[in-house]
Chain A
Amino acid sequence: MAETSEAKASTSPPGGDAGGEEDKRDERMLECNICLDTARDAVVSMCGHLFCWPCLHQWLETRPSRQVCPVCKAAISRDKVIPLYGRGNTKQEDPRNKRTEPENTSAFPGFSFGDGFHMSFGIGAFPFGVFTSTFNFGDSRPSAAPRGTAQYDEEQFLSKIFLWVAILFVLWLVFA
């Protein structure tokens, strides 16, 4: 018993620092050659080089006519890479069949804040809006609420707000 524990002690590196260093080297072994992060949806080329599939896919798209391994320039293609499934990966889904997110090329001149939020302004079918609101014959809209009720006040308030919004919009159109 004593012997085995001694053997263990001698094989394990003394101190925590050396262990950390070794861990770091192990991690670097599994880094994608493109993003330098630990490979996600890892694939390996025929020449043995490891990449994230999204990274490699983007590189193949960058130069579709000359698809070469970024590391050694050997020929490489979508069909000739091998996906790697580690133990933690239970689904074993081929990353090549996953939809790769299209790159965000902000071609549309709108407003975007960060990644998620996008806002844009436009005028849709502008003249028809006038007709539809002006020439509404014979539709039976509910009659206005009687004066003095809370609903009446609310309606007046809303119509004032819309009037001001419309005025501001017209001013903006004129001066901008």
Chain B
Amino acid sequence: MAAMSPSERRLQKELMSLMKEPPPGVTVDGDQASQNLTLWTVHMEGVPGTLYEGEKFVLQFKFTNKYPFDSPEVTFIGNNIPVHPHVYSNGHICLSILTDDWSPALSVQSVCLSIVSMLKTTAGQFVLC
């Protein structure tokens, strides 16, 4: 087997820990991710007690070979895109840690948590972007 690049090594480690200890309501498609480490599909359930309770969303993570120095490209895909001021209808997410505020100490898990938390904010708590 060919030697893994640093980005692949890190993605492999993240995949293992995310499959072992996923945050509540988040599941990663492990088979697909281990086949192609640069493209992950993550399933997310709407948090109970919010507008999105009972809904199911699908997130796509795309990684470049510069990961973790480059942020992943994260979008909602599929036909159920959450209706939220920070989520465009095409699935694009307006979240600072996915662009300017990205740091290599962040991970897929922390991005998932941020998105869960973003979907918890209710009207009046956010600023438009």
Contact = CB atoms under 8 A, between A and B. Distances in A.
A36 B15 CA distance: 12
B3 A34 contact: no
Q: How large is the interface on A (under 10, 10 to 19, 20 to 34, 35 or more residues)?
A: 10 to 19
23 contacts: A33-B104, A33-B105, A34-B10, A34-B105, A35-B6, A35-B9, A35-B68, A36-B10, A36-B13, A37-B9, A49-B105, A55-B104, A59-B104, A62-B70, A68-B103, A70-B103, A70-B104, A70-B105, A70-B106, A71-B103, A71-B105, A73-B103, A114-B3
Contacts of B13: 36-37
Nearest to B11: A36
Interface residues of B, number: 14
A58 interface: yes
B107 to A, nearest CB: 8
A62 B69 CA distance: 7
A135 B7 CA distance: 56
B2 interface: yes
A36 B69 contact: no
A115 B9 CA distance: 16
B10 A35 contact: yes
B98 to A, nearest CB: 15
B68 A34 contact: yes
